[in-house]
């Protein structure tokens, strides 16, 4: 065999070929690395929050395919309660009760004299201690924040007491009130004990003074008399002077195609505008007037003139965001133009394609986004699509449900002593659409619900049914197995003698407010979230996909 000779022309060709191959591999590797370096985008630091919002609504080709039977807002997707500077109340615990007991002296648990066992002295601090201990054992789902001094009930052995509390499942730090009547007795050592607690809001003598007015809030003259929850402050902020107005920097969105769309669409768009204002470090000009989509009205028509504050917590929004109400803003703007020769500079932005990044360095006092194009080019949320999505974070934590509606949620949950299970039954138009949901109707039939829930919920438990099924008696078969509760069982909470009715009527200039479909979904959602066991329609009751065939 001939030895290999590197000077041989054949050997030189082989070496040259090997060199060419190695150089080609090196060049290709450099090219691949360069392409990766150019196209690679680091993980979005807000991706986790956007993943949370995906459960709220999905956007596809500028249209929404969202399940409007559940409505989540900021307090539902927050990872932990958001404390505020005003929140200085710590939950009452066994150790704090023991401290109060020790402060009373060595005989704290004894009724002095123990002479009359048929009469209870409600003002005795030991009565409150007995009630506090009982509540801690009985109502484990709520955190007790503070108590008022007990007052006499209707009998000599009864005391009424009010307290403020927070539900442990709620992510916000809002406080709610309950007042109950307790029947008390004595242990063998004459210490107080609770024999029987009253139901939700049974301690009428411990009510707040403003709640003791009778009727629907109208005085003897027939005029509407104010009844206001002092813990709710949703007044409209006012700038007050031209100098304050001039110093401000504003982002103003004119009304677009989002008006009269569904609630999920409204929230998705509103938070886009609010997020852009925060990105630009500007005050957002917001319209408090909402158009109620026909799917939520009794008339089955879009209804304008609904107040944002009927549905959302305006007080919280003011605390965490820089906002100004559109009417006040326009009034200040007109006043400035009338009283100054120089008009206030305005930059009008006609297209959503002008990105927030392009406006970042703009010093114009007012940036006015106008949405005059045809749908879907005139949707607010288009501003936050594309490259802008990496810069604009929707401030979900700013949007909470109305405290007035949450008071109804607490009343419903409290009436079941915070010890209940819930099932979410989605029917309505989805159950009728056999093409997209072929099994939903049968899987949510009364017989199917009984069979499914018997394997999940213990017999004779309180069972709350959150549903869009319009027929009240549809769930009657479940009543043979559970203590069934539906939203319509609690109509007195928004009837014309209710606290909610009086407060919303006052907010609405003396005109009664309809408890509409938006509100029903909000309340249903929140009661559902507070259940000990929760059964969902999709993935629990039916194998159909939430958004139709082939979308699981």
My answer on whether 411 and 462 are in the same domain is yes
My answer on whether 330 and 185 are in the same domain is no
My answer on whether 251 and 389 are in the same domain is yes
Looking at residue 41, what is its pLDDT? 38
The CA dihedral of 279, 280, 286, 290, to the nearest 10 degrees, is -40
My answer on whether 292 and 385 are in the same domain is yes
The answer to whether residue 51 sits within a structural domain is: no
My answer on whether 246 and 380 are in the same domain is yes
Q: In which element (H, E) is residue 332 found?
A: helix 326-339
My answer on whether 368 and 416 are in the same domain is no
For residue 211, with 0-12 CB atoms within 10 Å meaning exposed, 13-18 middle and 19 or more buried, which class applies? middle
Looking at residue 33, what is its pLDDT? 54
Looking at residue 535, what is its pLDDT? 97
| Contact in structure between 346 and 229 (CB atoms under 8 Å) | no
The answer to whether residue 527 sits within a structural domain is: yes
My answer on whether 388 and 409 are in the same domain is no
Looking at residue 299, what is its pLDDT? 92
The answer to whether residue 302 sits within a structural domain is: yes
My answer on whether 483 and 505 are in the same domain is yes
Chosen domain end from 376, 398, 420:
398
Looking at residue 452, what is its pLDDT? 95
Residue 343 and residue 354: Cα distance in Å, rounded? 24
The answer to whether residue 461 sits within a structural domain is: yes
Chosen domain end from 375, 398, 421:
398
* Range 329-334, long-range pairs (CB < 8 A, 24+ positions): 329/250, 329/252, 329/285, 332/239, 332/242, 332/245, 333/245, 333/366
The answer to whether residue 18 sits within a structural domain is: no
Looking at residue 14, what is its pLDDT? 63
Chosen domain end from 184, 207, 230:
207
| Contact in structure between 365 and 347 (CB atoms under 8 Å) | no
My answer on whether 454 and 371 are in the same domain is no
Looking at residue 57, what is its pLDDT? 38
Looking at residue 51, what is its pLDDT? 38
The answer to whether residue 47 sits within a structural domain is: no
My answer on whether 448 and 473 are in the same domain is yes
Give residue-wise pLDDT tens across range 132-174.
999 999 999 999 999 999 999 999 999 999 999 999 988 888 8
The answer to whether residue 345 sits within a structural domain is: yes
- Count CB neighbours of 222 within 10 A: 7
pLDDT by residue for the chain (552 residues), tens digit each? 445 455 555 556 666 666 666 666 666 665 655 544 444 333 333 233 333 344 343 443 344 445 667 778 888 876 555 554 444 568 899 999 988 888 876 444 444 456 666 788 999 999 999 999 999 999 999 999 999 999 999 999 999 999 999 999 888 888 999 999 999 999 888 889 999 999 999 999 998 764 444 344 444 444 444 445 677 888 888 876 777 788 889 999 999 999 999 999 999 999 999 999 999 999 999 999 999 999 999 999 999 999 999 999 999 999 999 999 999 999 999 988 888 888 899 999 999 999 999 999 999 999 999 999 999 999 999 999 999 999 999 999 999 999 999 999 999 999 999 999 999 999 999 999 999 999 999 999 999 999 999 989 999 999 999 999 999 999 999 999 999 999 999 999 999 999 999 999 999 999 999 999 999 999 999 999 999 999 999 989 999 999 888 888
- Count CB neighbours of 313 within 10 A: 26
Q: In which element (H, E) is residue 291 found?
A: strand 289-292
My answer on whether 281 and 375 are in the same domain is yes
Domain count, the chain: 3
For residue 99, give the CATH number of its domain: 3.10.450
Looking at residue 215, what is its pLDDT? 42
My answer on whether 189 and 247 are in the same domain is no
Interacting residues of 507 by C-beta distance below 8 A, sequence separation 6+:
234, 307, 309, 310, 513
Looking at residue 89, what is its pLDDT? 67
Task: Please give the residue range of the domain that contains residue 512.
Answer: 403-535
The answer to whether residue 84 sits within a structural domain is: no
Looking at residue 218, what is its pLDDT? 45
| Contact in structure between 309 and 386 (CB atoms under 8 Å) | no
Its pTM stands at: 0.82
């Amino acid at each position: 065999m001939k030895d290999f000779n590197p000077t041989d022309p054949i050997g030189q060709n082989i070496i040259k070929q090997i060199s060419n191959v190695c150089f080609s591999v090196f060049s290709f590797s450099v090219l691949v690395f360069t392409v990766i370096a150019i196209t690679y985008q680091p993980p979005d630091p807000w991706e986790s929050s956007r993943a949370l919002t995906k459960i709220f609504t999905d956007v596809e080709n500028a249209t929404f395919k969202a399940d409007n039977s559940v409505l989540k807002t900021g307090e539902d997707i927050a990872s932990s309660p958001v404390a505020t500077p005003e929140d200085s109340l710590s939950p009452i615990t066994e150790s704090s009760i023991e401290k109060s007991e020790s402060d009373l002296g060595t005989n704290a648990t004894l009724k002095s004299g123990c002479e009359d066992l048929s009469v209870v002295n409600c003002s005795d601090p030991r009565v409150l201690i007995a009630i506090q201990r009982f509540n801690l054992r009985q109502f484990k789902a709520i955190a007790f924040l503070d108590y008022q001094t007990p007052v006499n009930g209707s009998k000599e052995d009864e005391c009424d007491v009010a307290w403020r509390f927070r539900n442990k499942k709620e992510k916000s730090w809002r406080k709610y009130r309950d007042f109950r009547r307790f029947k008390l007795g004595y242990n063998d050592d004459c210490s107080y004990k609770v024999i029987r607690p009253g139901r939700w809001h049974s301690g009428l003598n411990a009510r707040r003074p403003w709640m003791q007015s009778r009727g629907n809030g109208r005085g003897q003259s027939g005029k509407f008399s104010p009844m206001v929850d002092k813990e709710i402050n949703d007044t409209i902020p006012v700038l007050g002077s031209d100098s304050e107005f001039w110093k401000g920097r504003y982002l103003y969105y004119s009304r677009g195609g989002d008006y009269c769309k569904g609630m999920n669409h409204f929230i998705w768009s509103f938070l886009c505008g609010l997020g852009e204002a925060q990105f630009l470090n500007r005050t957002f000009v917001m319209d408090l007037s909402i158009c109620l989509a026909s799917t939520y009205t009794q008339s089955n028509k879009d209804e304008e003139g609904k107040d944002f504050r009927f549905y959302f917590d305006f007080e919280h929004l003011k605390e965490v965001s820089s906002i100004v109400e559109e009417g006040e803003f326009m009034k200040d703007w007109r006043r400035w133009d009338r009283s100054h020769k120089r008009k206030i500079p305005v930059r009008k932005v006609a297209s959503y394609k002008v990105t927030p990044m392009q406006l970042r360095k703009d010093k114009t006092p007012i940036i006015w986004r106008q949405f005059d194009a045809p749908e879907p080019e005139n949707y607010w949320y288009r501003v936050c699509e594309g490259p802008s999505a990496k810069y604009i974070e929707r401030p979900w934590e700013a949007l909470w449900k109305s405290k007035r509606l949450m008071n109804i949620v607490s009343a419903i949950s409290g009436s079941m002593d915070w010890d209940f299970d819930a099932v979410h039954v989605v029917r309505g138009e989805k159950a009728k659409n056999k093409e997209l949901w072929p099994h939903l109707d049968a899987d949510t039939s009364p017989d199917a619900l009984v069979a499914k829930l018997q394997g999940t919920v213990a017999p004779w438990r309180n069972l709350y049914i959150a549903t869009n099924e319009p027929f009240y008696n549809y769930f009657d078969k479940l009543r043979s197995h559970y203590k069934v509760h539906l939203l319509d069982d609690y109509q007195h909470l928004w009837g014309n003698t209710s606290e909610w009715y009086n407060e919303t009527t006052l907010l609405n200039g003396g005109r009664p407010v309809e408890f509409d479909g938006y509100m029903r979904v909000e309340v249903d959602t929140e009661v559902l979230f507070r259940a000990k066991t929760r059964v969902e329609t999709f993935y629990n009751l039916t194998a159909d996909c939430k958004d139709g065939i082939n979308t699981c």
